[in-house]
Amino acid sequence: MEKGLLRARTAVSVPFMALLSPYTATASAAGTRSNTPKKSPANIKAAQTLARQKSLEKRAKRYKLPLGELAIFTQQLASLLVAGLPLVQCLEALQDQTEDEVFRVVIREVRSDISSGNSFSSSVKKFPNSFNNLFVSMVEAGEASGGLAEILGKVAGYFESTVKLTKKVKSAMTYPIAVIGLSVALVNVLLIFVIPVFAAMFADFGAKLPVPTQLLIDLSDFLKHYFFYVAIACYATYWAFSKFIATPKGRRLKDKSLIRAPIFGNLIHKIALSRFCRTYATLIRSGVPILRTLEIVASASNKVQVEDACAEIAKHVSQGGQVSEILAANEFFPPMMKHMVKAGEATGNVDGMMNKIADFYDVECEATISALTSLIEPILIVFLGVVVGGIVMAMFLPIFQLGAVAGGLQ
279-289 pLDDT per residue, tens: 888 888 888 88
Q: Which pLDDT band, with edges at 50, 70 and 90, does 41 fall under?
A: low
- The pLDDT of residue 148 is 86
Interval 242-266: pLDDT, tens: 999 889 898 889 988 888 888 788 8
At 1 the pLDDT is 41
pLDDT by residue (tens digit) across 143-186?
A: 887 888 888 888 888 888 888 888 888 887 888 888 888 888 88
CA-to-CA distance for 125 and 135, rounded, in angstroms? 10
User: pLDDT at residue 367 above 90?
Assistant: no
State the Cα–Cα distance between residues 198 and 211, nearest whole angstrom.
Answer: 15
Q: What is the pLDDT of residue 20?
A: 42
Give the span between the Cα atoms of 395 and 390, in whole angstroms.
9
Q: Alpha-carbon Rg of the chain, whole angstroms?
A: 36
CATH class entry, domain 161-410: mainly alpha
Report the alpha-carbon distance of residue 286 to residue 78 in Å, rounded: 14
| CATH number of 56-131, picked from 3.40.50.10860, 1.20.81.30, 1.10.760.10, 3.30.530.20 | 1.20.81.30
Distance CA 92, CA 409 (A): 91
Give 403's pLDDT tier (boundaries 50, 70, 90).
Answer: low
Using the predicted structure, report yes or no on whether residue 405 has a pLDDT greater than 90.
Answer: no
Helix, strand, coil % in the chain, rounded to nearest 5: 85, 0, 15
Residue 13 has pLDDT above 60, yes or no: no
pLDDT, tens only, 176-221: 888 888 888 888 888 888 888 888 887 777 667 888 888 888 888 8
User: 348 burial class (0-12, 13-18, 19+ CB within 10 angstroms)?
Assistant: exposed
- Please state, rounded to an integer, the average pLDDT across all residues of the chain: 81
Given a contact cutoff of 8 angstroms between Cβ atoms, the answer to whether 154 and 282 are in contact is yes
Model-level pTM? Answer: 0.72
Helical H segments across 117-247, by residue range: 120-124, 133-145, 148-189, 195-205, 211-245
Kindly report which listed range (25-34, 101-110, 198-207, 309-318) carries the lowest average pLDDT score.
25-34
pLDDT digits (tens, 9 = 90+) for 304-340: 988 899 999 999 888 888 888 888 888 889 888 888 9
Residue 394 has pLDDT above 60, yes or no: yes
Measuring CA to CA, which residue among 95, 104, 83, 89 is closest to residue 149? 83
Note the pLDDT of residue 239. 93
Count the Cβ atoms, other than its own, within 10 Å of residue 277.
Answer: 26
Helix and strand numbers (H, E) in the chain are 17, 0
In terms of phi and psi (left: phi > 0; alpha: psi -120 to 50; beta: otherwise), the region of 118 is beta
Which of the four pLDDT bands, split at 50, 70 and 90, describes residue 366?
A: confident
**What value, to the nearest 5°, has the Cα angle with vertex 327 and ends 321 and 332?**
155
Q: Which pLDDT score is estimated for 38?
A: 53
Instruction: Give the helix/strand (H/E) hosting 375.
Output: helix 350-409
Asked whether the predicted pLDDT for residue 18 surpasses 50, the reply is no
Q: Could you give the residue range(s) of every CATH 1.20.81.30 domain in the chain?
A: 56-131, 161-410
Confidence category of residue 388, pLDDT binned at 50, 70, 90: confident
Query: Which pLDDT belongs to residue 8?
Result: 41
Residue 84 makes CB contacts below 8 A (sequence gap 6+) with none
What was the pLDDT predicted at 230?
Answer: 87
CA 298/CA 306 separation, integer angstroms: 6
What is residue 208's DSSP assignment? Answer: P
pLDDT at 410: 44
- Give the pLDDT confidence of 73-93 residue by residue, as tens digits: 999 999 999 988 899 999 999
